[in-house]
A and B are shown apart, each in its own frame.
Chain A
Amino acid sequence: MVLTLYGNSYSPCAKRVAQVLVEKQVPFKVVIIDFKKGEQKAASFVEKQPFGQVPLLDDDGYFIYESRAIARYIAEKYPDQGTPLIPKDLRARGLFEQALSIELNDFDAYISPPVHEVIFKPFLGLTPDREAFDQMVIQLEAKLDVYEKILSKQKYLAGDELTLADLFHLPYGVLLGPAGSNALDTPKRPNLSRWFKELVARPSWQAVKDEFKSMD
């Protein structure tokens, strides 16, 4: 049975999973959960995803939610097809876990607030606060300066091989430019810019970035 992924085109987290499915060459079909109709709060959905969030994966009756968990599950279930995304060696895997934690605590925590402020607030009928945005970007840039140091010594965040940790940066990362900051694409941080540009160019991201759709 083909995997079913529940989400929508304006959910960065849904695209995170879609990209990994493409990278691992795993076909999938999508079911749209429309937030405007409150479909994420429907009893039948909440039964499977009790936090009422997307995405959610149905693997032939096995349900799993949280985009990074779904992505790991896919990478672990299909280790021998598509791009290898999780190292096998114990120490390399430790540095992979370190990179995943950095993505969450030192990137996502700092890029989500400014992206929400400018890109998502209007969807909720609220007015973005540009000054707050600028302050949040300053804090993000302090973290990106450390990324620059790390990426000046190695090709990817966990070492010299691409892993899931790198890919996880894309869905919010690509929204920073449209939100009004070039912090990920500036000569001030050439290694960071090189790393991010290369990730954006990957065919798997190009395939999923615009529309959340079935790929089977």
Chain B
Amino acid sequence: MVLTLYGNPKASCTQRVATVMHEKQVPFKLVTIDLSKGEHKAPDYLEKQPFGQIPVLDDDGYLIYETRAISRYIAEKYADQGTPLIPKDLKAKGHFEQAASVEQANYDAYAGKAVVEKVFKPMFGQTPDDAVAERLLTSLEASLDVYEKILSKQKYVAGNEITLVDIFHLPLLSLLPLTGRDVYSTRPNVEKWAKGLIARPSFQSVKDGVKSTA
């Protein structure tokens, strides 16, 4: 049975999972959950995802939610097809987990919220909190200074091979310029890494909207 992904074509988290599906060459059907109609809070949806969030994956009756959990599950289940995305060696895996934790605590915590303020709120006719956004972007830039150092010594965030964690930084990497802050021009290693990820066919396939591939 084909995997079913419940999400929204333009939502960052849905795009993140879809990118991984493309990297791993795993066909899937997208079922759109319309947030503007409150479909994510409907009782039958809450049965699948009790926090009322998207996306959710249905693998032949096995339900799993949280973008990074779904992504890891796919990368493990289909380890032998598509791009290898999780290291096998214990020490390489430790550094993979280190990078994964940094992605959430020192990158997404700032970048995600800043993009909501500066990009998504105006899109939905809401007023951004500029003071909050500026503080978040300043914190993000401090983290990106560390990324610049790390990426001067290795090609990707967990080492010299691409992993899931690099992919997790998309699609925010493509949205950061829209916040009005130039985070890339003073950080050539970060810029090279970000541009390379954005150019990957897997992300190009989803950036304008996720579509079913099955």
Contacts and interface: CB of A to CB of B under 8 A. Distances in A.
Interface of A: 50-51, 62, 64-70, 72-73, 76-77, 90-91, 93-95, 97-98, 100-102, 104-106, 109, 143, 146, 149-150
Contacts of A64: 94-95, 97-98
Contacts of B77: 90
B51 A98 contact: no
20 contacts: A50-B150, A62-B91, A62-B94, A64-B98, A65-B98, A66-B102, A66-B105, A68-B101, A69-B98, A76-B94, A90-B73, A94-B70, A97-B68, A98-B65, A100-B69, A101-B67, A101-B68, A101-B69, A146-B50, A146-B51
B104 A104 contact: yes
Contact of B94 (A69, A101, A104, A106): A69
Given A64-B95, A69-B98, A150 B50 contact: yes
Interface residues of B, number: 32
Contacts of B109: 109
Nearest to A101: B66
A60 B97 CA distance: 19
A100 B64 CA distance: 12
B35 to A, nearest CB: 17
Contact of A90 (B65, B76, B150): B76
Contacts of A91: 62
B69 A97 contact: yes
B175 interface: no
Contact of A106 (B51, B95, B97, B106): B51
Interface string B76-109: 1100000000000011011101101110111001
Contacts of A143: 51
A97 B90 contact: no
Given A98-B64, A146-B50, A146-B51, A73 B93 contact: yes
Contacts of B102: 51, 66
A117 B76 CA distance: 39
A77 B102 CA distance: 21
Contacts of B97: 64, 66, 68-69, 72-73
A94 B62 contact: yes
B32 interface: no
Contacts of A149: 50
B101 A98 contact: no
Contacts of A51: 102, 106, 143, 146
Contacts of B200: none
B181 interface: no
Contacts of A68: 97, 101
A121 to B, nearest CB: 16
A50 B146 contact: yes
B72 interface: yes
A146 B102 CA distance: 26
B51 to A, nearest CB: 5
A149 B64 CA distance: 16
A73 B158 CA distance: 14
Nearest to A71: B97
B90 A98 contact: no
B149 interface: yes
